[in-house]
Chains A and B, each alone.
Chain A
Amino acid sequence: MASAPAEAETRQRLLRTVKKEVKQIMEEAVTRKFVHEDSSHIISFCAAVEACVLHGLRRRAAGFLRSNKIAALFMKVGKNFPPAEDLSRKVQDLEQLIESARNQIQGLQENVRKLPKLPNLSPLAIKHLWIRTALFEKVLDKIVHYLVENSSKYYEKEALLMDPVDGPILASLLVGPCALEYTKMKTADHFWTDPSADELVQRHRIHSSHVRQDSPTKRPALCIQKRHSSGSMDDRPSLSARDYVESLHQNSRATLLYGKNNVLVQPRDDMEAVPGYLSLHQTADVMTLKWTPNQLMNGSVGDLDYEKSVYWDYAMTIRLEEIVYLHCHQQVDSGGTVVLVSQDGIQRPPFRFPKGGHLLQFLSCLENGLLPHGQLDPPLWSQRGKGKVFPKLRKRSPQGSAESTSSDKDDDEATDYVFRIIYPGMQSEFVAPDFLGSTSSVSVGPAWMMVPAGRSMLVVARGSQWEPARWDTTLPTPSPKEQPPMPQDLMDVSVSNLPSLWQPSPRKSSCSSCSQSGSADGSSTNGCNHERAPLKLLCDNMKYQILSRAFYGWLAYCRHLSTVRTHLSALVNHMIVSPDLPCDAGQGLTARIWEQYLHDSTSYEEQELLRLIYYGGIQPEIRKAVWPFLLGHYQFGMTETERKEVDEQIHACYAQTMAEWLGCEAIVRQRERESHAAALAKCSSGASLDSHLHRMLHRDSTISNESSQSCSSGRQNIRLHSDSSSSTQVFESVDEVEQVEAEGRLEEKQPKIPNGNLVNGTCSPDSGHPSSHNFSSGLSEHSEPSLSTEDSVLDAQRNTPTVLRPRDGSVDDRQSSEATTSQDEAPREELAVQDSLESDLLANESMDEFMSITGSLDMALPEKDDVVMEGWRSSETEKHGQADSEDNLSEEPEMESLFPALASLAVTTSANEVSPVSSSGVTYSPELLDLYTVNLHRIEKDVQRCDRNYWYFTPANLEKLRNIMCSYIWQHIEIGYVQGMCDLLAPLLVILDDEALAFSCFTELMKRMNQNFPHGGAMDTHFANMRSLIQILDSELFELMHQNGDYTHFYFCYRWFLLDFKRELVYDDVFLVWETIWAAKHVSSAHYVLFIALALVEVYRDIILENNMDFTDIIKFFNEMAERHNTKQVLKLARDLVYKVQTLIENK
């Protein structure tokens, strides 16, 4: 056995290693805010700890045969010490996993989630598995502590843990690392990529696990915040404990100028002085002095109590700019004392420095920190060889300033000093204390400082030299131009500052010399020989100040409220519906209640049912029954027979619609087969691009090359002819011209189709499948420029809405009154005047048309009818008008005006060879066919990829989805299918599981949702509303968004609003959220989606703020968080937010 000194040396070495490792880990934690589990520091830390713990371990304790001594030891400890027992279990589980992973590398993916650690640990990590796990589980310090306390049981006498000094040191060293949290990044290249949303959430959880009740998360935006300017400990609640301790170190934001441990402070009169850590920090604009009791520094209070520790109340944070004087007292027996006096005269508890020149060091650091703007007065003296020393001053300073006199005794060696902190650069902006006259300059800070009488006026006067500059920035005066933006700030400051200003010195001064002067009535005996202030004047001034501030505060609040009312009142229902009255709605709408309601519809009010749904959702089993009511398929209160009636109607309508589009689809399929075959052939033959394109385009437009060419030449001829001669031309080939006519009509419609395609086609890459639209664009680039250009001329002219509109009207009239020639003539002439070229063509076309269009076809689109075109084009049309009139009777005026393009989609030409005839004998215009084809393709693309991972969407059910979507689109072909519609239909179908019912409900749902799609205008409104809401409810977040620019677009919530959060949540949650949205319309807000969106933002607001996310970060974050939100929490928060807005408006 080695000698005792050698043993001691070994112990010290072991301990030093641990110290070093601990330091490194803590450093990493501070600089990077998180420590990675695989950090090399952790591995070396574990090794160091292991060495300590094994040092001098009794053989018996380690187990003779065990290869892993730590395991044996910990398991043994586990018998008496529950945390170690827990740990043993966990590590053994882990070991098993590793074992099985070795045997079977695959198949562990499912376990990964449930386990705290991934089992793919590095060999080094596995070596220290026990220590490592204990560290991550935060029990390492406790176990070591236990070992130290019971060391005699496990250790030989020379062991480190047996040592009465070193043992406890080791245990307390481990407290720090055990308080940290460790993260596991998903990818190996974590240094490279931005952290995933997962990682951010995890880090946040780590970070804010100690967040207190009054953390910013819970901070109500409009309530009055305490922002003390002079309070010493107010920074603390806004930070988590961890943040706080971290903030004491040197970090990226603040420079640590000075730090000294074991500085004594007596926090309360009835207490002993407490040692703590005094640190001086400098950030860009402020210097802060912090004192933290040792109890908080090393976290020895215990995890649970840590946050609630009374020591938090003793910790101090002092902004140096508030400090005017430093009273320094040097005592013979102790190191020295500093008392800080702030501009309001309040004395801080004295800091007692340990012996050994620490006071001087502190002052010297402080002086350096104050540069370049501020300085100590008198300055410290530099003395060769000694560095800074206290100035050697006699009674009077050379400047004659009373404050800079550092001694109040006539000692040769001054032991007490008063330093003033001055900012020579700042010009005095002292405002005379004429507070009655100063209406808006609330910024005259000095006047209302409560100061112990003796020194008051002087303090006031001096303080004012630099003070106004500060007050101006912290106290926005309510000048007219800054009324609306951030009024609550103003109010917070103005109101919340009052108490602190009022408060007299909160502690009894413990600075002996000053307390004398402070408590004395002014005729002080010491060096503070100030003039006496008329106390009454001071009090009066203070009173006026308080009144004026209160007034402005109130004014600002009123203005803010009025802003809130203007912007937000439309967003919520003003009636606040309680979650508890008449009964607790937390259970939602249950099957029992619903049954009762169906049985007797008077048993529950509609409003009551909605309230239940709003607060608690619908029991999943009865969703199918309730949703049709919520969506408006049924009305509440309908009898069963009435409901049956509705169902029958819907079924009939659905069947009818299906029949129509199925017919259309048959033709489309036929056409496609041909074109596809051609494309394949083309591809294999390898023909040149141009000719192929060319051919395709012609095929697409269902016009043969030959005919279109001939008609183009025909048209060119027409140009040269007069009105009269054109008619002869036309009869050359009736069929061909008819085709042109169809095509021309189509093209003139094109611009009006709401998807915004332009005729020349240059900006519509996805216009889709065979359409005459392609045709025209193709033509313009290829061989037949004459035709296409002429067409576009035509388009432009015919589509002038002012011309078309009256004509439509007259046509309607004519048709309903059985078509008189005279009325027809009028528009005809109107046209003719317009443009000779156009009228030439028109005349030409109308001739053909009336040759070809003989029989009318009831093309069964309720809201679409033909014929405006035919009507006004055919000048000599008695026969024709009669044919058309039947269809026109069913015309819906507003649809007509919105979508005039529809009018001609259903062409009534049985004689037309071009228009295909479906098996049912119905014909479809080529335009309709094209349009439908395009939509059919889009629908199919989306149906195929609609939630294939969800159990419901079997091929059979996907077919249903497709049928419903096709039916809906068929009825709304003017809008057409837009990506995302399938997402809206899918949950309805899952719940309702009935095609016709889902169709009807979807139609109802789309009435609201349609507006969110690009063709509607609701999205921008949503964004604007979100903006207002965030501005008012979370100004801090709003500022961040502002600062990061682009944010204001709120595109990150685009998908939320577009799909009612369908892609953000898992299916079960979607159901819940949707029914809440529907019910909310009648219960709390018709814009409930806004509040859900806001709640989603608010749930993660801290993460967003912490990471200073910009627009792209937040998009990425939310895209990654999709389907992982805590929906219950979000919904609750959303309801609370509604409530908050409601109360704001109500002003209660």
Chain B
Amino acid sequence: MASATDSRYGQKESSDQNFDYMFKILIIGNSSVGKTSFLFRYADDSFTPAFVSTVGIDFKVKTIYRNDKRIKLQIWDTAGQERYRTITTAYYRGAMGFILMYDITNEESFNAVQDWSTQIKTYSWDNAQVLLVGNKCDMEDERVVSSERGRQLADHLGFEFFEASAKDNINVKQTFERLVDVICEKMSESLDTADPAVTGAKQGPQLSDQQVPPHQDCAC
């Protein structure tokens, strides 16, 4: 199984489209904190200020390569407004990682982090890994949430913390990579105690849930 140490990422030419693991990742947070931009930056390396609000749900796929394993990330972008909660929470099931995002220029979005984290605890699976991300860190002039506070809150909630900017492409890739790392770590922990047969390369999304036994104790 892959170790959790820092490893080389990159893409390797291969002739088959299969993958070894699939991680389902959700990006959540208040509306207009930049979830969609963040996703586009990561998946397509593009940014446009003209994004429209997400209604319902969307997702993108990105496959990365690490530790000789192809990992397919299925990244879901959710609607931020709480009216869509009933729909978006349905997608929490089976998610292995969350990027909980707030906007450093928006106090309210930061204040809501606690509640989002409660949502995760309520609707997702215990082992789901969460990263707290303060987006729009390029807008230093309009900052109302200091890094310090973000870090404090992340510590308090037991999440890792990043400040990022989808616009200036700061920390976007790092955030996802870290999340993948954390998930892999968690997975190897789980797998150490689990049937080694499960560690074999699996294909197909339907198997991804089984890769980590669902009844592990949550470490966070």
Contact = CB atoms under 8 A, between A and B. Distances in A.
B84 A676 contact: no
B149 to A, nearest CB: 5
A941 B49 CA distance: 12
A192 B17 contact: yes
Contacts of B144: 676, 679-680, 682-683
Contact of B145 (A683, A945, A1116): A683
A693 B111 contact: yes
B21 to A, nearest CB: 14
Contacts of A764: 82, 115
Q: Which of A675, A696, A1014, A1055 has the most CB of B within 10 A?
A: A1014
B190 interface: no
Contacts of B53: 941-942, 945, 979-980, 982
A1063 B83 contact: no
Given A192-B14, A192-B70, A938-B81, A1051 B30 contact: no
Contacts of A785: none
A769 B82 CA distance: 13
A193 B61 contact: yes
Interface in B24-69: 29-32, 49-63
A208 interface: no
Nearest to A196: B61
Contacts of A948: 49-50
B167 to A, nearest CB: 14
Contacts of A194: 17, 61
A1054 B50 contact: no
Contacts of A767: 82, 112
Interface string B116-129: 10110010000000
B148 interface: yes
Contacts of B31: 766, 938, 941, 979
A946 B51 CA distance: 8
Interface string A970-1009: 0000001011101100000000000000000000000000
A803 B117 CA distance: 36
A692 B149 contact: yes
Nearest to A949: B50
A768 B108 contact: yes
A765 B30 contact: yes
B50 A766 contact: no
A978 B14 contact: no
Nearest to B113: A765
A1059 B55 contact: yes
A683 B143 contact: yes
A982 B111 CA distance: 26
Nearest to B14: A191
A1013 interface: yes
B115 A765 contact: yes
A333 to B, nearest CB: 50
Contacts of A945: 32, 50-53
B115 A762 contact: yes
A665 B168 CA distance: 33
Contacts of B205: 1110, 1112
Contact of A191 (B13, B82, B86, B152): B13
A390 to B, nearest CB: 45
B55 A980 contact: yes
B74 interface: yes
Contacts of B50: 945, 948-949
Q: Is the interface of A mostly helix, strand, loop or mixed?
A: loop
A947 interface: yes
A591 B50 CA distance: 35
A774 interface: yes
A192 B84 contact: no
B56 A1055 contact: yes
A1119 interface: yes
Contacts of A941: 31-32, 53
B146 interface: yes
A976 B143 CA distance: 28
Nearest to A1019: B87
Given A192-B14, A946-B52, A980-B53, A1054 B87 contact: yes
B84 A979 contact: yes
Contacts of A676: 144
Contact of B62 (A193, A688, A947, A1119): A193
A292 to B, nearest CB: 30
Nearest to B153: A689
B13 A761 contact: no
A1058 B14 CA distance: 41
A763 interface: yes
B5 interface: no
B11 interface: yes
Interface residues of A, number: 59
Nearest to A1110: B205
A948 B153 CA distance: 35
A1077 to B, nearest CB: 18
A774 B114 CA distance: 12
B11 A686 contact: no
Nearest to B100: A765
B193 interface: no
A980 B80 CA distance: 12
Contacts of B119: 763, 765
Contacts of B52: 945-947, 983, 1063
B89 to A, nearest CB: 10
A914 interface: no
Interface string A1108-1133: 00101001100100000000000000
A755 interface: yes
Interface in A849-901: none
Contacts of A410: none
A189 interface: yes
Given A683-B146, A693-B111, A766 B81 contact: yes
B17 to A, nearest CB: 6
A1062 to B, nearest CB: 10
Q: Which of B30, B50, B53, B115 has the most CB of A within 10 A?
A: B53
Given A763-B118, A941-B53, A686 B148 contact: yes
B107 A191 contact: no
A192 B65 CA distance: 10
Contacts of A757: 82
A766 B81 CA distance: 6
Contacts of B13: 191
Contacts of B87: 1014, 1051, 1054
A1117 to B, nearest CB: 11
Contacts of A682: 144
Nearest to A1053: B56
B107 A679 contact: yes
A532 interface: no
B79 interface: yes
Interface in A672-704: 675-676, 679-680, 682-683, 686, 688-689, 692-693, 696
Interface string B132-169: 00000000000111101100110010000000000000
A1015 interface: yes
B116 A765 contact: yes
Contacts of B51: 945
A946 B90 CA distance: 27
B112 A192 contact: no
Given A696-B111, A979-B83, A1116-B61, 19 more contacts: A192-B63, A193-B62, A194-B61, A675-B107, A682-B144, A683-B149, A755-B83, A763-B115, A765-B82, A765-B112, A765-B114, A766-B31, A767-B82, A979-B54, A979-B81, A980-B55, A983-B55, A1013-B83, A1014-B86
22 contacts: A191-B17, A192-B17, A192-B70, A193-B63, A194-B17, A679-B107, A683-B143, A686-B146, A755-B82, A763-B118, A763-B122, A764-B115, A765-B113, A765-B119, A941-B31, A947-B52, A983-B55, A1015-B83, A1049-B90, A1054-B56, A1110-B205, A1112-B74
List 10 tightest A-B contacts by C-beta distance, closest first.
A765-B112, A765-B115, A1054-B56, A948-B50, A766-B82, A941-B32, A192-B63, A980-B55, A679-B144, A765-B116
